Structure 1
Amino acid sequence: MRALVLSCTLKRSPAESSSVLLGEQVLRRLEEEGVTGEVVRVVDHDVKFGVGTDEGDGDGWPAIRAKLLASDILVIATPIWMGQPASVCKVVLERLDAELGESDDQGRMLTEDKVALVAVVGNEDGAHHVIAECLQALNDTGFSIASNAGTYWVGEAMQSTDYRDLDPSPEKTVSATDGAVHHAVHLARLLRDAPYPPS
């Protein structure tokens, strides 16, 4: 099985990023479950605004979308800004809206047998809100959501400590990541073996 982690950090490579780090940790945990994959830092690609599968003019989304469609599990890793998912995350969710109009030869959405989970970091409240917003959008666009499909770390509000500054990672975040990954892989295997029927 394959996974794609979309890091929605606002920081271009090679800048250090806590959401990239948490996304990499989720991917390492997925690899322990026999899932291969990669982390894509969305901001490094020229992803256009829009709700189509290809917005033209060198749009970076089609290449990312091809990786997504080749994966069984999608992970959205985003920071919190002002209590909201990062703007890059919102662009990704808007681009996923195009999947509502795409279908296979049985009339099923191309994302229907894929599982999604969300990883969130930030120095303010809002992790549950951000996870809820993302999971609802992902479910709306065809992805299945396993139980406990989110992991997060939030530091003390208005402070300067980042997740990447912590060594080792907090046990509660590690535990949440373990559970999210374990459940996501379980559901993805079930869907691989028994896909949803056409409606």
Structure 2
Amino acid sequence: MRAVVINCTLKRSPEQSNTEALAAVVIEELRERKVEVETIRAVDLNIPPGVNTDDDGRPVLYNRVAGVVVTGNEDGAHHVINNLSGALNEFGYTIPGQAWTYWNKGPGPGPSFLETDEGRDWSITTGRAMASNLVAVATALAERPVPAPPS
């Protein structure tokens, strides 16, 4: 099994990223489950928009799972998770239940994920659960893939 983690931080490499630090929790858990993980920092690349289809007419993202990691305190985290999950699903990804984690330090300004240990346990626990759920659903899809849409 293989995973690609796309880090959408606004910070270019090699600048330290809170998103990268929280995503590392999920990556570690995926690797413990024997998943090969590649990471990409989107801000460092020129990524053209669009979606390709396979020979059966499905978006090439069918039979793949996705989850969302959000940093920047709790304000808007659920909104971002919901919007990204909906968009990913629209493109063909399967989104397992609780396939997300976010930095849960409370609303408003305050220290970032890398600036304090306070409140990190919740984010780490949900990140590990996220990885477990992603692997479980990916395994199920490998055994029973979503068929091509009817013509």
> Once the 2 structures are TM-superposed, how far is the Cα of residue 156 of structure 1 from its aligned partner?
4.1
> 1:164 maps to what in 2?
114
Counterpart residue identity of residue 173, structure 1: S
TM-score (norm 1): 0.69
Select the structure that is richer in strand.
Answer: 1
Quick one: distance in 1 between partners of 2:64 and 2:7? 18
Quick one: distance in 2 between partners of 1:3 and 1:162? 26
Matched, 1:195 2:149: no
> 2:7 maps to what in 1?
7
Q: Pick from 100, 111, 135: which aligns with 2:85?
A: 135
Structure 2: runs of 5 or more not aligned: none
Once the two structures are superposed, what CA deviation does each residue of 1:30-52 show, in whole Å capped at 9, x if it has no partner? 1111111122111112x2xxxxx
> 1:154 maps to what in 2?
104
Matched, 1:39 2:39: yes
Quick one: distance in 2 between partners of 1:27 and 1:198? 30
Quick one: distance in 1 between partners of 2:32 and 2:134? 13
Equivalent residues of 1:118, 1:150 under 8 A apart: yes
> 2:123 maps to what in 1?
173
Which of structure 1's runs of 4+ aligned residues deviate more than 2 A? 154-160, 166-169
| Length, aligned pairs only | 149
Q: Pick from 109, 126, 146: which aligns with 2:76?
A: 126
> Once the 2 structures are TM-superposed, how far is the Cα of residue 123 of structure 1 from its aligned partner?
3.3
> Once the 2 structures are TM-superposed, how far is the Cα of residue 124 of structure 1 from its aligned partner?
5.1
Quick one: distance in 1 between partners of 2:17 and 2:73? 13
CA distance change for structure 1 residues 11 and 148 in 2, over 3 Å: closer, same or farther? same
Equivalent residues of 1:125, 1:154 under 8 A apart: no
Equivalent residues of 2:22, 2:124 under 8 A apart: no
Counterparts in 2 of 1:62-101, with a 5 A limit?
95=49, 98-99=50-51
> 1:17 maps to what in 2?
17
> Once the 2 structures are TM-superposed, how far is the Cα of residue 169 of structure 1 from its aligned partner?
6.7
Secondary structure of the 1:10 match is: coil
**Residue identity (%):** 37
Once the two structures are superposed, what CA deviation does each residue of 1:92-139 show, in whole Å capped at 9, x if it has no partner? xxx3xx22xx22222222111100000001135111111001000000
Quick one: distance in 2 between partners of 1:156 and 1:38? 30
Structure 1: runs of 5 or more not aligned: 48-60, 63-94
Equivalent residues of 2:104, 2:123 under 8 A apart: no
Secondary structure of the 1:104 match is: coil
Equivalent residues of 2:9, 2:17 under 8 A apart: yes
Instruction: Give the aligned CA root-mean-square deviation in angstroms.
Output: 1.7
Higher relative contact order (CA 8 A, sep 6+): 2
TM-score (norm 2): 0.90
Q: Pick from 49, 58, 62: which aligns with 1:112?
A: 62
Quick one: distance in 1 between partners of 2:40 and 2:86? 22
